[in-house]
Structures are given as C-alpha cells and as structure tokens.
Structure 1
Amino acid sequence: MSNLEKHNSGVFVKGNLNGEAVVILHSSLSSSGQWRTLEFKLKDDCLTINIDLLGYGRAPQVDNPNSYNLDTEYVRIMNAVENVIGTKPFHLVGHSFGGANALKIAVQNPKRILSLSMFEPVAFHLLEEGTQVRQQVVDFAAVVASSSAEQAARHFTDTWNRKGFFDKLPSKMQQLMMADIDKVNLDFVGLISEKYTLEDCRKITCPVALIHGSHSQEISGEVIKRLLNVFPNVIEYEIQAGHMAPISHADEVADIIISSIKQR
C-alpha cells in the first residue's frame, strides 16, 4: 500500500486492513480529496481505495488522448484495485464522472460488487440519441471544448455549482481548474462514446444507492430516472443540495453511502 502512494500514482489506501474494501471515484475537475469525509468515517471498519482519475490530483496524464475512452480509466482502476485486494469483492462509490466509471465497472464485474453507491452518475450515453436532453449534453460539451481554458473552466464549474462560483474561487484554484480543462473534454468524449446499455445494467444485483440533489441540473436527473428502472435492488435518495453535494454536503452524502454499504 505504501508503494502506491510513494510513487505518486494517485491511489490512496487507508483504513482497516481486515475490513471490506471500498473503491471511491471522484468527479471531473476534482480529485480523491473530495472524499476525505467518507474516508474518515469508514476508516475503522473498511479498507478504502480512493483513486485520482487520470489527469487529476496525483494521477498520471492520459498517455494517448486520441484513443481515450472509459476503458482507459477502467484498466487503470482495476489494476490498482487488484494490486491491493487481488480478486476479492468490493464496494464501489462514485460521483458524477466517477459515478459513470463506477457504473461501467459494476456492469463488467457484477458478481464482484458488494454494493454500488452513486451520486448523479453522468452516464450520458444512456440518454437516447435524438432527445432534447441528449442534445443538451452535446451542446454543453461543445461549448466547453471550443472555449478558452478560463471560459471553459468558468462555464463548467458554474453549470455544476451556481452562476458566479468560478469567479469567487481563489486564483490558485482557478488556475488548477484551467490546467485540467483538457481532461474534462476527454471525459465528455469517454462518456458519450461508451457502449453498454440500460439492459446491461440489470445484471447489477447488489444493493444500489442512487443519490441526487433536489437543486441539480436536468441532465443528471434524466440519467437517474433511467437507472431507477433497471436495478433490481435500488434505493433512491434525494437531498436538499445540488450536483456537488458530495463536497458541499459531505457528511450527509457519506452517511447515505455508509448505510448502503451496511445493507450488504
């Protein structure tokens, strides 16, 4: 475990060595640090594997952006997990882009997942082509991709938080977000190009917690609506917050996730 951290791989292993493993994935333009509250609350009972996704935090950059898709993230995540726990089963947690990656992992490894907790997974490929909400995603991604780094970071963070959010951030934080915006564009490429279907999600039979905010954007809510109809063992949670509730309402979200883990 110490080797994983020492080599700046962006994989952080903490908690109870004898506990069940919990793999934790963050949102775009963020890092594993957003899950510190959850890590702390799980430390006595579980072994947490908190992963910086490619291009964020202390993770490496994407080797070949021209061939990037969610398989690129998947291979690295699963290698990291297996370096720690081998082929043992594990709980899975994800927020937004991390939630979409968590869903893909669960679809491809349904028998290994003890529980799946997702806060507004942005699995946008599940929105039907030709629908207005799918076009909203395409248009949003196009604006981010065609803007300057500063404009793109402002548009992205203001959309998922609230208008004016970016301009109130410290200059250092703004610069970090601007530096990571190219990866945000790759995230959208990976999300839209994914191939598994809603029907494929039916094979996920473990306890699923689908969490969303009452003040969140329509596009993330539409994904939630579709997923609620396919999981055989799902509980829906709504909290009085927006899309970034795992950060703004960290305690409340962590408690829901822990409740889902304990259901297993």
Structure 2
Amino acid sequence: MIDFVAIGHVTRDLLPDNTSTSGGTARFAALLAQRLGLRAAIVTASVEPVPPGIAWISVPATVSSTFENRYTPAGRQQWLHAIAPSITEAVLPRIWRTAPVVLLGPVLHECSPTLATFFAGALIGATAQGWLRDWEADLPSRIRPRRWRPTPTDLARVHVLTLSSEDVGGDTELAAHYARLVPIGIVTHGAAGATMFVYGRPHHIAAFPAQEDDPTGAGDVFTTAFLIRLWETGDPFQAARFAAAAAACVVEGPGDAALPDRVQIVRRMATVPDQS
C-alpha cells in the first residue's frame, strides 16, 4: 500500500557549471515522505532516473521539463527549455487512489487541481507555484507570472494550498486571496516565516534559525512536512511548527543530502521553545 502520492513533473535543472540535476516538487516531496517513514510514490511525466525506494509511474515522455536559473544584476531569472506532457487521471494507478495523503505539485500547470477528486477520502495538498507561471510558446522562454483564476469547483477537494510570496511578486493581497480559497492556505516568506490562513483567519508561523546554504526545495519540504504532520495529528499549528523546522534543516545543505528525518526535525524543534 502507498501512503503518500506526489503528482507533478520531475524536472531537469540546468546548473551554472553546465551540469544538471533532477528536481521538481513531486520529487522533493516523495523523498521527504520516504525519509519520514511513509511509503511514497510519484506520478509524473519525465525521463529522469527513478529515486531508489520510490514507486513511480510516468506518462510516456521523450523529455523532462527543463529549467535554468540565470543570475543578473536585476536578480534571478528562470528560463524554460523543454516541457514534458500533461498528467491526467488516465495514468493514475487504481490501487494508489486509496493513498491517505496526496500532494499536487505542478511546476508548469501540468496537473489540474481536479485530479484531487480521484482520491476519495485522502488529505489533499497542493502547491500553487506551477499554476502561477506562464511562458512564451517558443523555447527557451523566460518564466513570467500568470494570473491564476481557479473556480470553487477546481479547489473543492483541496484541503491545503501553499505558495510563496515570491510566486506572486510580493503581492500580499493576492497571496492572501489564494490562501483563503481552501480550508488551510499557507504563504511562505523564506526566513521571515509564513502566514497560515485557517478558514480565512491569518496566523504567523515563525521560522527556525538556520545557516542557509541552498534554499532549493525549502517550500516543497515545508508543504510536505506540514501535510504529513497534519494527517498524523489533525492539528495545523503542530503541523506548521514541524514544517518550519523541516524547512530550516533542508536549507542548510545541498539538494537531497539535506532532506531531514524525524529525529533531525524534532531536534531542530527543541532549539526553540513552543510558544503556543
């Protein structure tokens, strides 16, 4: 039986030294779920290698969605070089549809939020980042913001939605609007913590101190840790504290190597007293 299903493109990320690595929300999420003791699976469209110990199914693809970060005096620019196919319900294994925890992790709106309807009884989370991106048809293309307009029906089965303030260009009103579309919406602010909206009411979530080395995947780790701990406890405030500690751990090292286990997360939580 699968405990945790992550849906989204596993990406190819081009690095400044002309090498590349695998990435994407679905990959980070499944690896963290595995590290936390869950049996994890990925539904994707990708030609990237399968992470050891992770169940995997892919839409037939000849390329992985491929990204590049370019650093300029004006800041970071993200470029898109290739796009993998969309992910539909046809590829979802029937036996995986009974998983208790599901994360929709689009990077290029490759999976619709309505995929949540195929997981009856599951706790459903989603990262909004991929639905908030747009690009030109001719690749390579610079990624630009997209005004996402989900309907109430689109998000009817989504329990938790996360996004970063960076995803909306720092527009706090727009971020809050998206966060209030679901029972629990979370807007992350990096080292400044996060704002968690519980049925529309905002609550500040403090970040844990960290020596940042590589912020890649921090938001994905926060979301995954939150979702798993919410499933385990039913308490969004306990889940948020656990997630903040997990995110603080992962930024202190590069890529997969910094993904924490439960012992590391609990140890980080112990460094700052719980004020709730």
Q: TM-score, normalised by structure 2?
A: 0.46
TM-score by length of 1: 0.47
**Comparing both structures, which one devotes a greater share of its residues to strand?**
2
